């Protein structure tokens, strides 16, 4: 055992320093596309141990890959193949430290599972609104490090908007304790927002103060059928005017998405066995009553039908039916995986240009790769689309993946042409690092590099990710 690992064992205990085959579960990314290597996997129990490990790594020049629930999709939380880095798992930092109901805040450690935080908030009579398909396994540290979005951004914002304060271990092994539950704090540079979305390249988030909200009295869901994304945008505008802050979800799904879910998860509801090309899942929540939110949803959808903005709608009549409609949306990614491999894109464009982007990107892909299938769904209310491309029916999935670079170029060029971003909520990681160099301006890249150099001059914090 090297002196470095011996020191790690002395600090954490032998059972929390994993080597050899014991590291395997921590080295492969969520989708099974890449497996890296590591000197060891280190599992500290608290912030003080994290800081001590970082000081050891800084002294020995050992790179650190911070890791949460390992649900990322851009190779941001797995080490490269060199075997030089250690993986620093935050899984044991999993305590809900405190809940302040009057201040509407919860203070949690980075290894808390998102669902655990949701449940702790609910037990206190509050709502923590961040909601993701992976909420049963992703951790809040990872959510913060990638500025995760999810299905409630339209009403509550990204993870950045839900965070008031952070505790961070710097690349020098010092602890910045910024766990202040303040809505207003104008005392210098906003360090909190610097670390959120940085993917562990500037420091390690160990705890956070998060915003809580009142629990809604009632939630109702409808699924609406329409012909084009442009109609969906018109429906969004109408519902925002009619429903205001009660509109908490607005999810776009193509016909192909629903067909995939029906094929691979036949036990789930199928509201429209046949129908037009696009669908929207609408969610309203009310601080008043179930009767109020039901009447508001039914009247709003009825007016949209009368105005010709949609052709059909199914309104859930119970919580179970609402959950069933959401399950259709949440199983799209799993249905895609069951159908075979595809080329994924997590992009955003200005909401007003979503229809134009979809039309232009689908046309360009159809010309270059005739018969390819676009599985397009996402958070229309905040401009975030999961724009995934699968091979033509019956074609080889493995052979199709060889076109990934060319397909990425088509999609990302269209995103750029429509004023968008090549990463909306998944981050950059290692997977999109070269793409970032293509689409970010030299000025932006230089500023980012200067920040990285200033905070992490030894380049030990998740090297090779983002920049």
Q: Taking the model in full, what pTM does it have? A: 0.93
Q: Give the CATH number for residue 160.
A: 3.30.465.10
Tally DSSP H helices, then E strands, for the chain: 16, 18
Please name the helix (run of DSSP H) or strand (run of DSSP E) that holds residue 136, with its range, or none.
Answer: none
372 in the same domain as 328: no
237 in the same domain as 264: yes
Q: Give the CATH number for residue 379.
A: 3.30.70.2740
291 in the same domain as 245: yes
> Is 249 part of a structural domain of the chain?
yes
Q: Give the CATH number for residue 268.
A: 3.30.70.2190
37 in the same domain as 115: no
Mapping DSSP onto H, E and C, the string for 161-220 reads HHEEEEEEECCCCCEEEECCCCCCCCCCCCHHHHHCCCCCCCCEEEEEEEECEECCCEEE
Model confidence pLDDT, tens digit, residues 273-309: 887 999 999 999 988 888 899 999 999 999 999 999 9
> Is 467 part of a structural domain of the chain?
no
Size of the chain, expressed as the number of residues it contains = 467
From 302, 317, 333, the end of a domain falls on 333
123 in the same domain as 77: no
135 in the same domain as 59: no
Please name the helix (run of DSSP H) or strand (run of DSSP E) that holds residue 35, with its range, or none.
Answer: none
> Is 442 part of a structural domain of the chain?
no
Q: How far is CA 10 from CA 3, 43, 315, 458, in A?
A: 10, 13, 60, 24
350 in the same domain as 326: no
**The residue to which tokens 């000081």 are assigned:** 55
CA–CA distance, 152 with 135 (Å, rounded to integer): 13
Tokens for 346?
């997590």
> Is 459 part of a structural domain of the chain?
no
Q: Which residues contact 456 (CB under 8 A, 6 or more apart)?
A: 171, 201, 202, 203
349 in the same domain as 324: no
Complete edge-to-edge strand list for the sheet that includes strand 163-169: 96-100, 105-109, 204-211, 163-169, 175-178
CA–CA distance, 378 with 252 (Å, rounded to integer): 5
Q: How many domains does the chain have?
A: 4
- Ranges in the chain, pLDDT < 70: 1
pLDDT at 1: 63
Please name the helix (run of DSSP H) or strand (run of DSSP E) that holds residue 41, with its range, or none.
Answer: strand 40-42
Contacts of 157-162 with CB under 8 Å at 24 or more apart are 158/425, 159/130, 159/196, 160/193, 160/196, 160/197, 161/211, 162/128, 162/129, 162/130, 162/210, 162/211
CA–CA distance, 108 with 225 (Å, rounded to integer): 40
401 in the same domain as 369: yes
> Is 461 part of a structural domain of the chain?
no
pLDDT at 59: 96
pLDDT at 318: 87
Domain extent, residue 303, equals 218-333
């Amino acid at each position: 055992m090297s002196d470095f690992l011996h020191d790690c064992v002395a600090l954490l205990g032998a059972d929390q320093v994993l080597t050899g085959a014991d590291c395997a579960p921590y080295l492969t990314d969520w989708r099974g596309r890449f497996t890296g290597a590591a000197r060891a996997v280190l599992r500290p129990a608290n912030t003080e141990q994290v800081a001590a490990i970082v000081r050891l790594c800084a002294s020995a020049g050992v790179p650190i890959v911070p890791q949460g629930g390992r649900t990322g999709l851009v190779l941001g939380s797995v080490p490269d193949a060199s075997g030089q880095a250690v993986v620093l798992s935050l899984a044991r930092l999993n305590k809900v430290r405190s809940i302040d109901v009057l201040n509407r805040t919860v203070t949690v450690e980075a290894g808390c599972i998102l669902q655990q935080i949701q449940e702790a908030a609910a037990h206190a009579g509050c709502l923590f609104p961040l909601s993701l398909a992976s909420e049963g396994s992703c951790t809040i540290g990872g959510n913060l490090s990638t500025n995760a979005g999810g299905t409630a951004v339209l009403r509550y914002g990204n993870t950045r908007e839900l965070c008031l304060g952070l505790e961070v271990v710097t690349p020098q092994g010092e602890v910045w304790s910024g766990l202040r539950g303040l809505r207003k704090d104008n005392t210098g540079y906003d360090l909190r927002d610097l670390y959120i979305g940085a993917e562990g390249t500037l420091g390690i988030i160990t705890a956070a103060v998060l915003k809580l909200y009142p629990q809604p009295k009632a939630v109702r869901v409808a699924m609406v059928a329409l012909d084009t994304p442009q109609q969906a945008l018109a429906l969004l505008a109408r519902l925002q005017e009619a429903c205001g802050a009660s509109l908490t979800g607005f999810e776009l799904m193509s016909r192909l998405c629903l067909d995939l879910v029906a094929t691979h998860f036949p036990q789930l509801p199928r509201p429209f066995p046949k129908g037009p090309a696009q669908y929207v899942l609408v969610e309203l929540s009310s601080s008043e009553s179930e009767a109020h939110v039901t009447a508001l949803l039914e009247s709003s959808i009825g007016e949209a039908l009368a105005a010709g903005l949609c052709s059909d709608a199914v309104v859930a009549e119970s919580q179970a039916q609402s959950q069933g409609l959401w399950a259709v949306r949440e199983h799209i990614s799993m249905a895609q995986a069951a159908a075979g491999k595809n080329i994924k894109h997590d992009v955003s464009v200005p909401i007003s240009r979503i229809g134009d982007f979809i039309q232009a990107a689908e046309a360009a892909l159809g010309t270059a790769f005739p018969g390819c299938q676009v599985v397009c769904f996402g958070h229309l209310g905040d401009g975030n689309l999961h724009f995934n491309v699968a091979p033509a029916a019956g074609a080889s999935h493995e052979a199709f993946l060889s076109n990934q670079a060319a397909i990425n170029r088509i999609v990302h060029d269209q995103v750029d042409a429509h004023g968008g971003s090549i990463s909306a909520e998944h981050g950059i990681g290692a997977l999109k690092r070269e793409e970032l160099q293509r689409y970010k301006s030299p000025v932006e890249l230089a500023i980012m590099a200067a920040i990285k150099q200033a905070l992490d001059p030894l380049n030990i914090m998740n090297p090779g990710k983002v920049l």
